[in-house]
Amino acid sequence: MSNKKLEILNSMEIEEYEADGATLYYALVKNTLENTRKLLEIGAPMEEIKSVIADDHEGIDISGLAFRYGGAKWFTGEKWLAHEPNKGAWKNE
């Protein structure tokens, strides 16, 4: 898979996230037209994007979209990666 999708994901600023070292519970970006366009560019359908907009309409939880459509396998807390740590070469270092 091309790193282009990961580059797009990594161009979005994560406002807040929660993880426990093994599970990413959520990763929020601002709910902006620019971020929506980026999610559409990685292949996420608009209906799925709408379904993960926060209740206050200020954020979008991109965690599931990143894994389903963006080629991400891991989130470090700062960037999306194509592989889990210690599981082969990292394609996006």
The pLDDT value recorded for residue 84 is 84
pTM: 0.87
Residues 16, 59: contact at Cβ < 8 Å? yes
Q: Is 24 exposed, middle or buried (0-12, 13-18, 19+ CB in 10 A)?
A: buried
Q: Write down the mean pLDDT value for the chain.
A: 91
CA of 50: how far to CAs of 11, 41, 44, 46, in Å? Answer: 20, 15, 10, 6
User: Which tens digit of pLDDT belongs to each residue from 4-42?
Assistant: 999 999 999 999 999 998 899 999 999 999 999 999 999
Rounded Cα distance, 76 and 43, in Å: 22
Helix (H) or strand (E) holding 17: strand 16-19
The predicted pLDDT at position 87 comes to 57
Q: Is the pLDDT of residue 93 over 90?
A: no
